[in-house]
Amino acid sequence: MAWETCVSVSPAAVAEAAAILDVDVASDGEAKRQLLLVVDDDDDSEPNPYEYRVFFEWLWNDYGCKIDDVTRGPTFRTPGARIFPCVEVYSCRVIDLAAGLEWPIDVFGFVAARDALGRKRNYIFNRPRGDAQTLTAEDPSFVLTGPIRAINCSQRIEFEVDLKVRGKSQSDKDKVLSARYIVYETIGPNTVVGQVMSKARPGKRCSVEVTFAHLAGAVEAAIEVRVVQGSSGFRGRFIARTDGYDDDVVLLDSSNDGSVPVADDGVIKLARSVAVVESTGVLNLHAIITRNDSSSGDDGGGVASEGHAEFAAQRFESSCRTLDLGFCKMLATVSWSMIPLI
């Protein structure tokens, strides 16, 4: 069956897909949407099984959502928004490598969150084959580039995993690394609010683990950092941290692989730029940078300069702070938004 025809399926096909995914379908054909959807396909040619596509389209097509639809963001003061529980994602990594795979591995594909806002993909990692990330036993974590908007906790959250290992030669074909769904039930006895937690799903070749926190009442912070004075030739690390949580949201880390990318207008091209903050909390922004030239007299290694700024959470306003790092100054701007319900 072609992809374009997947949106219209017979009750028998729905029942077959539901059986494969281990979900219940009532006698009237209505699926119980609260139940866990788990997919694991080790077929090298089809990481996202046809059966799941059939089921997803049947379940969500009436709501205008296709399986490959991507969300938009940041929120930017969407009407009808309010302070609401959200998830902050800190990291995603590969663990328990198996089935003949050995470190290092070159990984491409995506990890995306699906929440109640349309069930569309909100990428936290997304790379094409030609830009695969090399993971090692010492550093098996992905460089996150999202989410691009706050992840809403009004209903359960599904982390969709669709990853492949790039073959090391022309004769070594690509392999599916993981094609699974990690589910976090945001309501119920397994809900953990106010703490950092990790959830993983084991597969044939590895487990993929996501570390995140469930914030009870949050607002969205869209972060921009601009060089306004001095040199832009530097490398370094930019992190954000929510008051009360010890884990870092890594916005950009070029400490070991070159200069911080800076646009012509001075805006730093952060890898990810959206965080969530408790509505009564504080967002801490920290920069540690080093000049790329040898003017400091230590063969270009430079001396690290550090800057720090604090932003009290707001609902709609924008907040600005200056980071004075000696050889340059930066203006950090946080645009605040509340969270849409659906």
Point out the least confidently predicted range of 47-61, 98-112, 151-165, 239-253.
Answer: 47-61
> What is the pLDDT, as a whole number, of residue 257?
77
> What is the pLDDT, as a whole number, of residue 238?
97
CA distances, 188 to each of 155, 192, 193 (Å):
11, 9, 11
For residue 33, name the pLDDT band (cuts at 50, 70, 90). Answer: very low
One-character DSSP codes across 269-299:
--S--EEEEETTSEEEEEEEEEESSSTTSST
Please state whether 329 falls in left (phi above 0), alpha (psi between -120 and 50) or beta. beta
Q: Look up the CATH architecture of domain 218-337.
A: Sandwich (2.60)
- pLDDT average, residue stretch 222-229: 96
Over the range 82-98, which residues count as b (16 or more CB within 10 Å of their CB) and which as e?
A: ebbbbbbbbbbbbeebe
| Tens digit of each residue's pLDDT (9 = 90 or more) over 149-198 | 999 998 889 898 999 999 988 788 999 998 888 889 998 887 889 999 99
- pLDDT average, residue stretch 110-128: 92
One-character DSSP codes across 147-168:
-SS-EE-SS-EEEEEEEEEPPS
DSSP state of 202: E
In angstroms, rounded to a whole number, what is the distance separating the alpha carbons of residues 162 and 27?
A: 32
| Tens digit of each residue's pLDDT (9 = 90 or more) over 293-308 | 645 444 445 678 999 9
pTM of the entire predicted model: 0.82
> What is the pLDDT, as a whole number, of residue 51?
59
| Average pLDDT of every residue of the chain | 82
Please state, as a whole number, how many other Cβ atoms lie within 10 Å of the Cβ of residue 307: 22
| Tens digit of each residue's pLDDT (9 = 90 or more) over 230-251 | 988 899 999 999 988 999 999 9
Beta strands in the chain (DSSP E): 84-95, 105-114, 122-127, 133-135, 151-152, 157-165, 175-184, 196-202, 207-230, 234-242, 249-253, 274-278, 282-291, 305-312, 318-324, 328-337
> What is the pLDDT, as a whole number, of residue 64?
75
- pLDDT average, residue stretch 263-291: 96
In angstroms, rounded to a whole number, what is the distance separating the alpha carbons of residues 242 and 218?
A: 10
What number of residues does the chain have?
A: 342
Sequence ranges of the chain with CATH classification 2.60.40: 218-337
Rounded to 10 degrees, the C-alpha dihedral 171/174/176/177 comes to: 100
Which residue type does 284 have?
A: N
- pLDDT average, residue stretch 130-153: 96
> What is the pLDDT, as a whole number, of residue 19?
46
Say if CB 156 and CB 38 are below 8 A apart.
no
Q: What residue spans of the chain are helical by DSSP H?
A: 11-21, 50-60
